[in-house]
Chain A
C-alpha cells in the first residue's frame, strides 16, 4: 500500500486535473478518438450534401447492418492489436464457427449449434493464443498459418457446400425494432453492447490496464509482476468469443452458412482498427475508436456508391485512408517518444 505521508496541499495539486484543464483543448485534439470521429463527421456531411439518399433512415439502417459483422470482428482484432499482435485468422475463425452452427442446426437443436460454434471458435483462438504466448511465435505467422488451415478446414467440413439457415434463433440478430424508418437490428445492439463491455474492461479493470501494458512494454509489464503470457493467451480467447458472436451476426445478416464467404473480412477488420486510431505497435487505442473506424469504412463505401462512383475507387479511398491513419500514428508516436 502506498501511504500518503505528506501534507494534503501538494498531493491535491498533483491529483487535480488542473494540469489537464489548462491543456484541455490540446488533450481533446490529441485524444485517439478525435481524429477518426472528425473524419466520420466530415464524410457524413459531404455525402449528405452531395447526395439526396445518403441521410435517409433506410440508408442508415443499411450502413449499420453493413458494418456489424466486420465491426464486431474488429473488436476482437482491437484487443489483439493492443498487445502488439495481429490476427489474420479472425474472419476464417468466424466462418468456421458459422458453418459449424449451420451444419449442426440441420439436425440438432439451434442452441446446441450456437454453443458448438462458440466452442470451435474458442478452440481455434486458444490454439493461436498458445502458439503466440507459450510458443513465443510471431502473431503474424501464427495467424497466417491458422488462416490457411482453418479456411481449408471449413471447406473440408462442409464439402464446400453452404447451408441455408431457417431457424429463428440463428437469424434473430438480423431482426429488430424499426423506429421512424430506422431499423436497429439485435445484431447492431449486440455490436454496440460488446463495444461497451470491452471498453469497460479495457479502461476500468486491472485486466485492461495490463493488456495495454503488455502491448506497450512487455519487459516492464513482466518486471511489474504481470504474467505477460497469461494476458496474451486471455486476449486471444476473449477475441475468439467475440468472433463467435460475429458468426451469429453473419447468419442474421445473410441466412446462409457459406464456407467461402467473408474472405477479406480479416483485412477489413484490421482496416477498421487502424482507421479507428489503434496503434499497430500496441499499447494505444481502444474499441470505441474501432467502432468509429468500422463506420468510416462503410460510410465511405456507401456514400461513394450513392454518389455513383465506381466501387474500385471506393477501395482506393479506403486504402489511402489506412495509410494516412498509420502515418498519423507513426508521427504521433515519434513525437511522443522523443
Chain B
C-alpha cells in the first residue's frame, strides 16, 4: 500500500458533544483503497459515534470528511448511501419473509422497461433475480436458489445476504458494524471469507469488531480508538493482539507502536498520527 495514494474515506478533527459528554474528540480516520480497516476500541470509547458520523447517522459538531480527497458532509444516512458508502448492521439487515432477490433490491427495485414499467409500475423480477444470482455467485455465497426466502437460511447465510446487498450497491466504501457478533464459529469464518472477497472485488471495508481474533484474521490495518479519538493506526502485522488490547485499554502508550504515516488531505492539518508518535519511530 503506497502511502501517497489518496485515501478513499478520510476524516480530520471530528468532534461531537452530547451535552457535557464528549463522544468524539478531534478524531481522525483514514481508509485506503483495497484494504480492510478494523476499528477497535473499548466499550464507550466512541467507536459507534465515529462510525455513525461516517455513515451519516450522526452529524459531527466540527471536523471535516473527505471522499477520495474531496471534502464532503453527510447530513443523513441517505447522503452517505448516495455517495456510495453502504453499511451492514449487526442485526435488522434483512426481511425474513422476502426472498433473497427481493432483499438484495429492497428499496431499489427495478422496473420493467417500456409501458409495463412506466405506466403499470411492474417490477422486472427476472432482471432482479439475474442481478442477485450474479452478485451471490460473484461473492461465492452458497445458496440453493435466489428465490429462497431469507427465513429459510442459516444465520450466517442471512448475514451473507446482508453483506451481498451492501456490496452490490456500495460504490466506494463498505462499513460493517459487528457483522459476526451473533454468529457461531463456522458461520463467522464464512462471513470473514466474504469480507475478504468484498475487498478483493475492489471495495475497501471498514470492520468494527470486538473480536480480536476476527480482527487479526482479516484486517490489513487497525485503527485503535480510545477516549473519543484515534490513538493509533497500525499495520495489523506489526503488532500482537496483546499489544492492541493494551493500547485500547490504555495500559500501554500508543507511542510505543510503529504507526502508519497518513497523508494530509488538502493542507487542512499535517500528519496527525505523527503528532502522537515520537519522530524516530514514525515510519
CB within 8 Å of B: which residues of A? Answer: 1-6, 10-20, 200, 204-207, 209-210, 212-213, 216-217, 219-221, 223-226, 283-284, 336-337
Q: Report chain B residues within 8 Å CB of A204.
A: 120-123
Q: Return B37 CB to nearest CB of chain A, in Å.
A: 22
Within 8 A of A (CB), among B77-129: 77-78, 81, 87, 89, 91-98, 102, 104, 106-109, 111, 120-123, 129
User: Across the interface, do A209 and B129 meet the contact criterion of CB distance under 8 Å?
Assistant: no
Cβ of B136 under 8 Å from chain A:
yes
Q: Report chain A residues within 8 Å CB of B95.
A: 212-213, 216-217, 220-221, 283
- In whole angstroms, how far apart are the Cα atoms of A337 and B152 in the complex? 8
Further pairs besides A2-B169, A217-B92: 12, Cβ < 8 Å: A10-B133, A204-B120, A205-B123, A213-B98, A216-B95, A216-B97, A217-B95, A221-B107, A225-B77, A225-B78, A283-B95, A283-B97
Cβ of B217 under 8 Å from chain A:
no
- In whole angstroms, how far apart are the Cα atoms of A209 and B123 in the complex? 10
Residue of B nearest to A203 (CB): B123
Q: Report chain B residues within 8 Å CB of A217.
A: 92, 94-96
Residue of B nearest to A1 (CB): B131
User: Across the interface, do A15 and B122 meet the contact criterion of CB distance under 8 Å?
Assistant: no
Q: Return A78 CB to nearest CB of chain B, in Å.
A: 15
A-B contact pairs, 10 of them (CB 8 A): A4-B133, A6-B134, A6-B138, A205-B122, A206-B109, A212-B97, A221-B95, A224-B108, A225-B107, A337-B96
User: Across the interface, do B137 and A11 meet the contact criterion of CB distance under 8 Å?
Assistant: yes
Residue of A nearest to B126 (CB): A15
Q: Report chain A residues within 8 Å CB of B148.
A: 19
Q: Report chain B residues within 8 Å CB of A213.
A: 95, 98, 102, 106
Residue of A nearest to B102 (CB): A209
Q: Report chain A residues within 8 Å CB of B137.
A: 6, 10-11, 14
User: Across the interface, do A336 and B134 meet the contact criterion of CB distance under 8 Å?
Assistant: no
B interface, size bucket: 35 or more
Q: Return B215 CB to nearest CB of chain A, in Å.
A: 24
Cβ of B283 under 8 Å from chain A:
no
A337 and B151 in contact, given A11-B130, A17-B145, A205-B122 (Cβ under 8 angstroms): yes
Q: What 7 A-B pairs come out closest when comparing CB atoms? A: A4-B134, A19-B145, A2-B131, A224-B107, A206-B109, A14-B133, A219-B92
Q: Return A81 CB to nearest CB of chain B, in Å.
A: 13
Which of B93, B137, B147, B149 gathers the greatest number of chain A CB atoms within 10 Å?
B137
Residue of B nearest to A2 (CB): B131
Q: Report chain A residues within 8 Å CB of B77.
A: 223, 225
User: Across the interface, do B106 and A226 meet the contact criterion of CB distance under 8 Å?
Assistant: yes
Q: Report chain A residues within 8 Å CB of B206.
A: none
A14 and B145 in contact, given A2-B135, A205-B122, A223-B89 (Cβ under 8 angstroms): yes
- In whole angstroms, how far apart are the Cα atoms of A280 and B120 in the complex? 29
Q: Report chain B residues within 8 Å CB of A11.
A: 130, 133-134, 137
Within 8 A of A (CB), among B138-166: 138, 143-149, 151-152
User: Across the interface, do B98 and A212 meet the contact criterion of CB distance under 8 Å?
Assistant: yes
Q: Report chain B residues within 8 Å CB of A15.
A: 129-130, 133, 146
Q: Return A4 CB to nearest CB of chain B, in Å.
A: 3
User: Across the interface, do A336 and B151 meet the contact criterion of CB distance under 8 Å?
Assistant: yes
User: Across the interface, do A220 and B92 meet the contact criterion of CB distance under 8 Å?
Assistant: yes
User: Across the interface, do A220 and B123 meet the contact criterion of CB distance under 8 Å?
Assistant: no
Q: Return A224 CB to nearest CB of chain B, in Å.
A: 4
- In whole angstroms, how far apart are the Cα atoms of A141 and B195 in the complex? 45
Q: Report chain B residues within 8 Å CB of A210.
A: 106-107
Q: Return B184 CB to nearest CB of chain A, in Å.
A: 15
- In whole angstroms, how far apart are the Cα atoms of A224 and B81 in the complex? 10
Q: Report chain A residues within 8 Å CB of B49.
A: none
- Select B96's contact among A4, A14, A16, A216, beta carbons within 8 Å: A216
User: Across the interface, do B109 and A209 meet the contact criterion of CB distance under 8 Å?
Assistant: yes
